[in-house]
Structure formats: structure tokens, C-alpha cells
Amino acid sequence: MRKMVWLLCVLVCGVAQAGVVIPVEMKSGGWEFVARAQAPDYTGPDCFNPAWKPLVKPAGPALIQWHAPLAHARHGRPISVRVLLGEDNGWYAAAASSRLWLSGKGEGQRAFQAVCAPDVTQMLDENSESYGLWLAVEYQDGTRLPFYGAAFPTLATAADGKVAAADWCMRVPAGYDLAAAQSRAGNQPQSLGQGQTRVVTQGRVTGFMGRVWTWEKWIGVEKASGPALISWPRAQADAENGKVVKYIVYFGSTDALPFNGDAARLKQWLELKGEGQWGWCLECAPDVTQILDTNTEGACRLWLAVEFESGKRVGYQGSQCPKVVPFTESMRNLVDKSAAKMPQGYKPESDKMDIRGRLGAYLKVGRQWTLRITSKVVNAGENVSLVRTEILSVSDEEVEYRYTELDAAGQPIAGVEPQSLKLQLLVPRPRDPKPEPAATEETITVQAGTFDCLRTVVEGMGAKTITWMSKRFPGLIVKQVVTGETTEQVQELVEFKE
């Protein structure tokens, strides 16, 4: 019904010609101005129609608006809208002149095109000049077609020179000076692998650059205190927006004020800055449709959203979607292996992991040590060198140290300069952490002295590695032996200055 009301007239006239087409999708909320010199030639099928008349912008500020395009039966979903500006010399009635205009190089055309995501449906021009305006849609296969209808595009003007526009609206630069032109990247969707979930905290969220879609029915559902199983049906691919790339679940207090009808407040929630909102959300891959909450206390309200490959993010709610039921251990067989797990105490782990406990040897300025490295290859002799490490500075986040390579006699190597390196103490937490190798305590004596160590053995990739790590100075290798089929490398501590 909505399609009929809009009376979209998206036509292709003339003979289709084969060509090389490299379509580039503009993601939700994104737009840019492309100068004539940077615009690639349009090589898709002919696109012209004598009925493709322009909208004439009068002198003075104006807000031009249109409908979002729909998917095409042959050409797929829309990936961008192109706004062509210039004089009405009838170019749209012929194939050759239309191709030049669609390439940004037409006679009488402005020296740029405006290109935007299919869900960007406004352009604000506060300049005083008058011109003709045409819209074209680019589809997945690279085809560009005229885009107009019985009631669009339209324009709005204001006697005081001020017109209201959405935050995602395209804005024509003052004086049509492209050097001062703005652009908007749009929402670039980040997909998750099969079965993956992740907690996203406020510190990892950047400003939401997609179009914000309000929806009166996106009111969320309440989860009572106690364990619960949260589930929802899989969302289907959308004709205009493509496949589902992930679900996002937002959480807040049970008395959080409604935000679904106000674009500004909804945007705050998408950025984890909403009033009454928790400072983190859960992201789930398209095949993950459950969350298991085993917390024994804590009530909340949750809102489920879905994000498509176009970058569109919108509320996902309906009958039993999402569904929240109290959980007991007798229901364990109903829980999918890929179900997301709610953080205990509703306190997600930090995105960063502090590893200073493993690097105690590096945490004192002025400390230095030297390792002798002996490398042997069967039937090729051996090579001996030394490396010296000296700690230069220590902060809360990193260590700076000097790394010096020396010859077998402990002298500098000609042409090899010492390097100043940095060691991060806060590193990204691994998604799939591997267990630490089993360690046994052992005291060994090397040239630098006698040390109490933790001995580990690791085998893999065709080699066996035995490491003796200092117990008192974590991160300090006292000795290490790496043995391969035809090689052996031995590292041994020859000097240690605390």
C-alpha cells in the first residue's frame, strides 16, 4: 500500500548497454559531495527519460526532500542516491547527454554531485542561487535510474531564511565551495562471526552516524529479578537494506523514560548515553537468538535492535519478541550452545586486560639485563650474539625500554643502532583466551646467578620450547631452549642489574 501511495516512477528508457560498473554503497546516514574531476564515468545501462523533469530551486535557502527508494526487481536493492544540479537544457531526453550528467560531466551541470545513502532524504541549501535538481538511484548491480514521483522531490522555504533539517541531512557548502564541503561517513556495520557475541562498553562506542529511526512500538520488555532466558525469532533479510549483520540488546533501569519517539534521545541510547541506560550493551551474531541471564538478583528493561548490511539500525520488537521467561536448571536443554551469557553482577569485564602482573621485571626504571643467544643449525655451525634490555620509563599504560644488540664479546655491532621500544601494559582482552601451560618450580644457575623459576614446556609448530621464567621478576627469561628438527636456539641470562 505504501509503495502505491508513493507512486514511485523509477524508469529506464532506451536500450541497455553492457559496461563496466563498480558500484559503491553509501551506508545509512552517509553522504558526500563529489567534484567533477573525482567522479568516475558512469558505464552502466543508458538512463534517460524526457519526463524526468527537474525540481526548480528558487532563490534563497531551501530544504529539498524526497522518499527513500525501494528495491528493484532486476537491479537489486538501492545503494545510493545521486543529486544532480544544473540548468534545464533537456539533457535527460537523450542517452549520450544523460550519461555525461550521471558521470558529473554534463553540459550546464554544476561542478559536483551530491551522493548519499538511500535513507538520506533531505538536502539543505542555504545559498541564494536558483537551479534545476534531478535525483537518480544507483542499485547493487551499478545501474542508475531516474528517481521521481507524483509528489517528490519537494522543497520547503522559509521567509526568515531558516528551515529545519535532520542531523543526517546533506548540507550544501556555502558558495558551493567544495573546499569547505562537509561529509558524513554513515553507520559502517561491523558484522560478527557465526555464534559470536560481545559486550560493548561505553568507552568503545563512537557517535552513531546512521539515520535514527523512531518507532512508537519499540518500548522494550521488562525482565524481573532472577535468572531468565531471553530469546527472539531470527530477523529476515530486508529488500532495501540487505542481510542482518547483528542484533544489539540495550539495557536500562525499569523506570527509564521512553525514548523511542524522540530522535535525539534515541540517538543517545544508540551511543550508550541515554538517561537511565546501562553503560554497555550486548551484540550478537545473526545466528544468536538467546541470552542466558543466571544472575539471581537485578531487574531491568531491555530493548532489542537489528542492524542490516546497509547500516540501518532499527528496533526489533513484536509478539514474543523478545521473549523473557524465568530460567531454572531444568530448562538447560532449551539453551542454545551459542546463547550469549549475561555478565555476572551485570558488570562487564573491561575491554582491556592489565598485564603488568606478568611483566614485573619491566616495572623499574634503570633495571637492565643481558641475554646471550646461541643459535645452532645442523651442519652449519653456530652463531652467538647478546641483547641488552634497559628500562627507560614506566607509566600507568606503557613501559619504554632500550633494546641493544651486541656481538659475542659484548661490543656494539657496527651499523646496528640501539632501539627505543614501547611495551603496552593494557592490551585488548582476547576473545578466545588459551589456557596457560602448566608450570613447575625449579631453581637454576646461569652466568647471571641463581634464580627461582617457573619451568614450562610448550610443543607445537614443529618445535619444543622449554622456558625458565623468574618467579621474583615476572617477564624475565632466565633460560630458554627452543629445539626444532635441525635447529636449536638457547637464550641464557648473563647479566642482571636490579
Three-state DSSP state, 265: helix
Give residue 13's pLDDT band: very low, low, confident or very high (50, 70, 90): very low
For the chain, domain boundaries: 2-180, 197-346, 357-497
Measured distance CA(148)–CA(135) in Å, rounded? 7
Average pLDDT on 66-76 reads 96
The overall average pLDDT reported for the chain is 91
User: Does residue 17 carry a pLDDT above 60?
Assistant: no
Which residues is 19 bridged to in the sheet? none
* pLDDT at residue 7, rounded to an integer: 34
| pLDDT over threshold 70, residue 254 | yes
Is the Cα torsion angle 452, 457, 458, 462 positive or negative in sign? positive
Across the strands, what pairs with 166? none
The three-state secondary structure class of 112 is strand
pLDDT band, very low/low/confident/very high, at 1 (cuts 50, 70, 90)? very low
Band of residue 18 on the pLDDT scale cut at 50, 70, 90: very low
- pLDDT of 5 > 60? The answer is no
Q: Is the pLDDT of residue 164 over 90?
A: no
Spatial distance between the Cα atoms of 276 and 285, rounded to a whole number of angstroms = 26
What 3-state DSSP class applies to 330? helix
What is the fold of 357-497?
Answer: YmcC-like fold (2.40.360)
Residue 238, pLDDT > 80, answer: yes
Share of the chain above pLDDT 70, in %: 93
**Does the structure show a pLDDT above 90 at 12?**
no
pLDDT band at 442 (very low <50, low <70, confident <90, very high): very high
CATH class of 197-346: mainly beta
Give the C-alpha separation, 489 to 447, whole Å: 17
Average pLDDT over residues 213-235: 97
pLDDT, tens only, 362-388: 999 999 999 999 999 988 889 999 999
Q: What is the mean pLDDT of residues 458-468?
A: 93
% of the chain beyond a pLDDT of 90: 80
pLDDT, one tens digit per residue, over 267-303 is: 999 999 999 999 999 999 999 999 999 999 999 999 9
Distance CA 42, CA 38 (A): 12
pTM to 2 decimal places: 0.69
Q: If DSSP codes are grouped into helix, strand and coil, which group holds residue 211?
A: coil
